[in-house]
């Protein structure tokens, strides 16, 4: 009789080791959740994008259709303001990460157009083709071309919006003939020219 009472008293005592283990597991879970949330937001902000990308920062003033406008590309976001009044005209959506931009008359109609190199999630945007049933949330690079339209508040009328390029573009520049040159991560250069309605590959320059 006296022996069983002693045993019951022994199990009824709280063990400090168990309490410490529960608290430790709780904090480990909180830390794991914070790490997961941090990594998710870093991914959403493009922190894990390829290292071959050249991110440009640039400020330039242009006269387009008799408007003096300041283009400012900083921290992967492009803003266009009136060069005199400083009034904001356009800024890229926060979902777009802009690596570079160019102002050139790509279609030779006499008016400058705006070209942006954009990284964003999803190759197709909101108009995904019905036959493409996979989830469309991978980071892909795009070239977006806009014509300058003074009738619009934001001036930029979409002219040609590419789906994911499929080229690992390391550098891009536009030559004096408004042809777009992509240099990929291996050094191969492809030259693209506006023909009819869109960019057409006109030359491939092998890596040196």
Which residues of this chain interact with Ca ion, rule CB under 5 A? 105, 107, 109, 111, 113
Nearer to Ca ion by Cβ, of 98 and 114: the residue is: 114
Shortest CB 109 distance to Ca ion, Å: 4
Nearer to Ca ion by Cβ, of 45 and 111: the residue is: 111
Shortest CB 115 distance to Ca ion, Å: 11
Phi-psi region of 108 (alpha: psi -120 to 50; beta: other; left: phi over 0): left
Non-local CB neighbours of 61 within 8 Å, separated by 6+ positions: 68, 69, 70, 71, 83
Strand, coil or helix: 24: helix
Shortest CB 104 distance to Ca ion, Å: 8
Q: Are 148 and 137 in contact (CB under 8 A)?
A: no
Alpha carbon distances (Å) from 41 to 8, 35, 45, 138: 52, 10, 6, 15
Nearer to Ca ion by Cβ, of 76 and 113: the residue is: 113
Shortest CB 47 distance to Ca ion, Å: 35
Query: Residues, the chain, total?
Result: 208
Shortest CB 96 distance to Ca ion, Å: 22
Nearer to Ca ion by Cβ, of 100 and 107: the residue is: 107
Nearer to Ca ion by Cβ, of 115 and 169: the residue is: 115
- Sign, Cα dihedral of 17, 22, 25, 27: negative
Q: Are 79 and 90 in contact (CB under 8 A)?
A: yes
- Sign, Cα dihedral of 38, 41, 46, 48: positive
Query: H/E element holding 69?
Result: strand 67-74
Shortest CB 185 distance to Ca ion, Å: 30
Nearer to Ca ion by Cβ, of 182 and 194: the residue is: 194
């Amino acid at each position: 009789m006296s022996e069983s009472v002693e045993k019951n008293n022994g199990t009824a005592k709280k063990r400090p080791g168990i309490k410490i283990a529960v608290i430790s597991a709780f904090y480990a879970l909180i830390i794991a959740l914070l790490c997961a949330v941090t990594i998710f937001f870093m991914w959403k902000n493009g922190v894990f994008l390829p290292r071959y990308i050249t991110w440009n920062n640039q400020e330039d003033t242009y006269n387009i259709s008799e408007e003096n406008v300041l283009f400012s590309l900083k921290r992967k976001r492009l803003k266009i303001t009136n060069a005199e009044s400083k009034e904001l005209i356009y800024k890229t959506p926060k979902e777009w990460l802009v690596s570079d931009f160019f102002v050139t008359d790509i279609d030779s109609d006499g008016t400058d157009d705006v070209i942006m190199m954009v990284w964003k999630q999803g190759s197709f945007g909101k108009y995904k083709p019905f036959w493409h049933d996979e989830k469309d949330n991978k980071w892909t690079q795009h070239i977006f071309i806009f014509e300058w339209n003074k009738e619009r508040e934001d001036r930029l009328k979409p002219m040609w919006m590419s789906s994911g390029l499929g080229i690992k573009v390391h550098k891009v520049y536009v030559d004096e003939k408004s042809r777009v040159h992509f240099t990929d991560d291996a050094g191969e250069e492809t030259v693209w020219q506006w023909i009819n309605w869109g960019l057409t590959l006109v030359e491939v320059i092998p890596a040196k």
